[in-house]
Amino acid sequence: MSAPKAIGAYVKALFPTAHMCFTIGDRLETEADKENYALWIKEKAAGKPSAQADDMYKRTMNVLDRLQEHRGCNTGISRTHWSALQTIVKLLAHKDDWSNFDTGPIYGGSNATIADRLCLSIDRTKKILKELRRAGLIMFHQRHANGRRWIRRQRDGTPVGHGFSLLPMMVLLDELENHIGQWRDREFEARRLHTAIVGKIAGFKQSLRAAHGENAKTHPAIASCDETLQAVATAKAGRNVELLRSILHEISDKTLFQIAETTPQGVQKNPSLSNLVQKESKVDAGQEERSEDRGVDPDFGLTTAKLQDHEIEQLFPIVTPYLQIHRSLDRAAHHVARDSAISTDMLQRMRNKLGEKAASVTILIIAERLAAGEIKTSSSAYANGMLKAAHRGELKLGRTIWGRREQLAA
């Protein structure tokens, strides 16, 4: 969604109780709209307390970083425009201006200077500046002061002349910070709930395959699961946390177990999943092959745990739908990491430190714990803690594998 199409909803979302002196539409199209908007910004700025220049500048840069990282955080303004605005902010580092709510930081340079910083043509730069003004993120300062854009300063440091003012950014800063915080909370919660639901449905399908074999494909519950997954994907895309919580509440382990044990008429039932697990993964409490020491096992316990490929879906049901798409553990784990909000940088660090297979297993462990609600911070922070444990030689993936086998066999 481009900037000119969403400024009305954007400003109203940030200031739901604001009483504006003009009617704002979908964009600031006419000069009268832009001038009225500038008057409203100055009125809001007049009630702001004086701020520390360093603090205001750093907060502005941090907000723009977050908006670019998360593709605008649903503000309706694209990442390209936030990036261009950040470039302009970097040009305006005059300290006193960032504590001045009368004028704000003023840019009086040429379009060629901005174009050079953006690595764009002058025509494209002019269009971006025009859209930033239509979006209400910048406004003119003393437009009719002289014939061209040029700023000079009086002895007290007050800027005089025609240029662009970043006063709107200073006025909107508190609301933007609140908006980004709320958006990130909903985004993380939607990802966590989505992972939990997908994991439960994957485990349910696994139990159906174990209970009914090839006949599980014709089980009536499969169609219901597919419909639920489609609804969950739509809810996640829209960050509908309330709907995701409702779906997760309805999909209880007890209900899924009852459906899995229900055999359609004419279908022969196979041994249950629990019997198969007990037969294939019988665990002795005094097992000598468990992972003990990082120096003995270079694979963080996976070699001594003797993790087999056919066990992956039994021990980590959450990966089942991803393996059906990618058909290789490393690619499926990469997809799981993305849906679990593990950053690309963190994923690369895990692969470099742990190796491909150990990193994939670690991602599945994190995803299962995230779905179970055991992770109270972010997934990337939890992954960073596991990397630190690996650096200290305390990461024991083999113990986790044996623990999940015992839990599954119980």
Spatial neighbors of 16 by CB under 8 A, at least 6 apart, are none
> Are the beta carbons of 170 and 60 closer than 8 angstroms?
yes
Which residues of 305-388 form beta strands (DSSP E)?
none
- pLDDT value of residue 123: 92
- pLDDT value of residue 15: 58
- pLDDT value of residue 294: 40
Q: What is the pLDDT along the chain (410 residues), one digit of tens a residue?
A: 333 344 455 555 555 555 544 444 456 777 777 888 888 888 888 877 776 767 888 888 888 988 888 888 877 788 888 888 888 888 886 777 788 888 888 888 888 888 998 888 999 998 998 888 888 888 888 776 665 667 777 777 677 778 888 888 888 888 888 888 888 888 888 888 888 888 888 877 777 777 777 777 777 777 788 888 888 888 888 888 888 888 888 776 545 545 554 544 444 443 333 333 333 334 343 444 444 444 445 678 787 778 887 788 888 888 888 888 887 888 888 888 888 888 888 888 888 888 888 888 899 988 888 887 788 778 888 888 888 888 887 888 888 888 888 777 65
Q: Which residue has the tokens 């205001």?
A: 56
What amino acid occupies position 145?
A: A
- pLDDT value of residue 66: 87
Angle, helices 344-354/379-392, rounded to nearest 10 degrees:
20
DSSP track, 274-311 = HHHHHHHS---TT-TTS---TTT-TTTTHHHHT--GGG
- pLDDT value of residue 266: 44
Which residues of 304-405 form beta strands (DSSP E)?
none
- pLDDT value of residue 193: 87
Element (H, E) at 161: strand 159-165
pTM of the predicted model, to two decimals? 0.57
Spatial neighbors of 14 by CB under 8 A, at least 6 apart, are 172, 175, 176, 179
